Amino acid sequence: MKKPFIAGNWKMFKTVSEAVSLVQTIKAGVSHKTDCDIVVCPPFTALSAVSKTLEDSSIDLGAQNMHFESEGAFTGEVSPLMLKDVRCRYVVLGHSERRQHFKEDDALINKKVKTAVKYSLVPILCIGETLAERESRQFFEVVKKQFDESLQGLTGEDVSKIVLAYEPVWAIGTGQTATPEQAEQMHSYVRRLLNEKYGNEIASRVPILYGGSVKPDNIGQLMRKPNVDGALVGGASLKAETFTQIIVNAAEACKAEVHS
């Protein structure tokens, strides 16, 4: 049975006390449901406090970004060692908001992915096309380029440790989710790219998440698609009720698949 992987990306929301309160409620809501890998990615300022709150929990901690050097004169940046220090296991890299607003390109993202793997942080590597790229039917090329360039120089063993997230930019924060068929089409394409480059065993091991307006009422259909392994959730992860409902619905959809 597929075990869903659900990650919440809190973006630039939540003070420390709000973050702790949110994660406490999520913890209480999912404590008896272990059939899902759950990750929360608060802003940097809340990582330490959320980490302490998660000490006795199976929920994992992730950061939303990091620098590719372990330390140095890089004002305003946060290093992989600092993330490890607060017990982050995951780090979101290449999110479209970083590509768009902070001009991160695939070469930079590639350096970050390599560093994350080096320090045993699991990158949640985001790829996905813009609306213009979808409308001009370039989406496969765009995603292939992001895939190739951001994973350049990594071995199969390195790649077996990462998580991929397909996030079509036109679906992020817009309420316009990709249809389950559109998601599956791209996920199976990405799975094929993994297979061609790293072989079947690694291709079947790397989770491919979908991200973009995931809500409790669309996660079930998405999870029923064979190549959708979970979700990277933005807006709906900011409320404990909707985030836990996404987790419950994802787990149920996977169970129903086995019994159908």
Q: Is 67 part of the annotated catalytic residue set?
A: no
Among candidates 250, 198, 252, 257, which has minimal Cα distance to 229? 250
Nearest distance from C-beta of residue 231 to ligand PGA, angstroms: 8
Residue among 147 and 210 whose Cβ is closer to ligand PGA: 210
- 150 lines the binding site for ligand PGA (CB under 6 A): no
Q: Which of 60, 189, 234, 240 binds ligand PGA (CB under 6 A)?
A: 234
Nearest distance from C-beta of residue 238 to ligand PGA, angstroms: 9
Residue among 117 and 219 whose Cβ is closer to ligand PGA: 219
The residue type found at 23 is V
196-215 positions binding ligand PGA, by CB under 6 A? 211-214
Residue among 158 and 213 whose Cβ is closer to ligand PGA: 213
The residue from 67, 167, 184, 187 that is catalytic is 167
Interacting span for ligand PGA (CB under 6 A) from 130-138, 156-164, 199-207, 234-242: 234-242
Q: Is 187 part of the annotated catalytic residue set?
A: no
Contacts with ligand PGA by CB under 6 A: the residue count is 13
Q: Which of 232, 240, 246, 254 binds ligand PGA (CB under 6 A)?
A: 232
- 172 lines the binding site for ligand PGA (CB under 6 A): yes
Residues making contact with ligand PGA (CB under 6 A): 9, 167, 172-173, 211-214, 232-236
